[in-house]
Chain A
Amino acid sequence: GAVVSQHPSWVICKSGTSVKIECRSLDFQATTMFWYRQFPKQSLMLMATSNEGSKATYEQGVEKDKFLINHASLTLSTLTVTSAHPEDSSFYICSGVQPPVNEQFFGPGTRLTVL
């Protein structure tokens, strides 16, 4: 299957700083990418839909000014957590949709810890 990578795989930052997470589709072009958040022992919660060349669509309750998403190319989407706080500590996972079958391929996730 297709491969999606994320960078970094883990990051520790101080409260108030911003963190950028990259999501790349390595062997296919993804016009749509999704960003999820997963807290310990909980399921994946969709945060936003990222479409190449247009603004991201955020799920209800997700602050778009806090979680900035940029999908500048067909193989790269970035999620920037601005002014991070300890409650933002979580496992962030992206997925890319591969046309034409529209199957979703998930990245390995990024563990964010905010001190």
Chain B
Amino acid sequence: SQKIEQNSEALNIQEGKTATLTCNYTNYSPAYLQWYRQDPGRGPVFLLLIRENEKEKRKERLKVTFDTTLKQSLFHITASQPADSATYLCALDPLGAAGNKLTFGGGTRVLVKP
């Protein structure tokens, strides 16, 4: 069966440290993978998109890697700040670029402590 798995346990991290989140998928061949931030009671906010032919993408303090062999993406928040506390969702295109549909993982909640 098809699955997108993110660590359901909350990640507690000290301010200034790097938070690393994992997204593993099974029985998909996505053309791209996206990461979103979601705050309580709000819609997701797009952060980064990485394509299947890209190994790594960076945006300010964020870094995403994509390993299509391992079927895994890692999401890093460097120099974390309390304002980074939120739930982070990974999403992929289940049809492999044939359209814009997204399938989301369960999300990982991050709590950055000052």
Interface, chain A (partner B; CB < 8 A): 1, 4, 6, 32, 34, 42-46, 49, 91, 93, 95, 97, 102-109, 111
A42 with B43, Cβ < 8 A, contacts A32-B100, A102-B100, A104-B100 known: no
Complexed CA–CA distance, A104 and B104 (Å): 13
Shortest CB-to-CB span from A12 to chain B, Å, is 15
Residues of A contacting B107 in the complex (Cβ-Cβ under 8 angstroms): 43
Count: A-B pairs, CB below 8 Å: 45
Which residue, of B43, B45, B89, B102, has the highest number of chain A Cβ atoms within 10 A? B43
Residues of B contacting A104 in the complex (Cβ-Cβ under 8 angstroms): 46, 100, 102
Tell whether, in the assembled complex, residue B43 and residue A106 are in contact, meaning their CB atoms are under 8 Å apart.
Answer: yes
Contact of A111 among B41, B49, B106 (CB under 8 A): B41
Shortest CB-to-CB span from B26 to chain A, Å, is 16
Interface secondary structure of B, over-half rule: loop
Interface, chain B (partner A; CB < 8 A): 36, 41-46, 49, 89, 100-107
Tell whether, in the assembled complex, residue B46 and residue A109 are in contact, meaning their CB atoms are under 8 Å apart.
Answer: no
A103 with B43, Cβ < 8 A, contacts A32-B100, A43-B106 known: no
Tell whether, in the assembled complex, residue B46 and residue A44 are in contact, meaning their CB atoms are under 8 Å apart.
Answer: no
Shortest CB-to-CB span from A6 to chain B, Å, is 8
Shortest CB-to-CB span from B18 to chain A, Å, is 24
A-B contacts, 9 of them at CB < 8 A, read: A1-B46, A34-B100, A43-B106, A44-B89, A95-B43, A102-B100, A105-B46, A108-B43, A111-B41
Complexed CA–CA distance, A49 and B42 (Å): 21
Shortest CB-to-CB span from A76 to chain B, Å, is 17
Complexed CA–CA distance, A108 and B102 (Å): 17
Contact of B104 among A44, A102, A105, A108 (CB under 8 A): A44
Complexed CA–CA distance, A111 and B43 (Å): 11
Shortest CB-to-CB span from B95 to chain A, Å, is 11
